[in-house]
């Protein structure tokens, strides 16, 4: 069971990084190289309704399928009826929006720096 809990923690860290990594990349630009693939994977999983391999691994370590990671761990209190496809698409759209804003701020900062150095 401890191994399943370890996978759960790794999964939660990955989700947090996919959501907030764009903001971390504002401080540490090199982090974008790791964040962009994580972001695209997270967005694809949510928007296309895929199952993340970490969910399958955790479920197998717990001895059977116990549902979607996001629905089971992060949204149970918000959506007691379960994670619907509409919720999943909304989460994917929110992921894209949060990171588009972060990278937009970064792009604006780069453009201002270039303009002021001319």
Quote the DSSP letter at residue 29. G
Residue 18 pLDDT level (bands cut at 50, 70, 90): very high
Per-residue confidence (pLDDT) for residue 81, from 0 to 100 = 66
Provide the residue ranges of all domains of the chain, joining segments of one domain with +.
Answer: 2-116
What is the per-residue pLDDT across 36-76, written as a single tens digit (0 to 9) for each?
A: 999 999 999 989 988 889 888 887 887 875 555 655 665 55
User: Could you give the CA distance from residue 63 to residue 14 in angstroms, rounded to a whole number?
Assistant: 23
Residue 109 pLDDT level (bands cut at 50, 70, 90): confident
Per-residue confidence (pLDDT) for residue 72, from 0 to 100 = 62
Among 47, 32, 38, 37, residue whose Cα is nearest residue 10: 38
Identify whether the C-beta of residue 32 lies closer than 8 Å to the C-beta of residue 110.
Answer: no
What is the per-residue pLDDT across 68-106, written as a single tens digit (0 to 9) for each?
A: 565 566 555 445 567 788 888 998 999 999 999 999 999
Residues 6+ apart with CB under 8 A from 97: none
Cα 99 to chain centroid distance, Å, stands at 10
């Amino acid at each position: 069971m401890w191994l399943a809990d370890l996978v759960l923690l790794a999964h939660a860290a990955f989700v947090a990084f996919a959501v907030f990594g764009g903001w971390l990349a504002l401080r540490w630009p090199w982090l974008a190289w790791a964040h962009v693939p994580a972001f695209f994977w997270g967005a694809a999983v949510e928007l296309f309704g895929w199952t993340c391999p970490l969910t399958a691994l955790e479920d197998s370590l717990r001895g059977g399928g116990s549902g979607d990671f996001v629905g089971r761990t992060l949204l149970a209190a918000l959506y007691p009826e379960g994670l619907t496809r509409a919720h999943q698409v909304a989460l994917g759209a929110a992921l894209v929006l949060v990171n588009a804003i972060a990278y937009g701020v970064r792009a604006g900062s780069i453009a201002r720096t270039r303009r002021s150095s001319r």
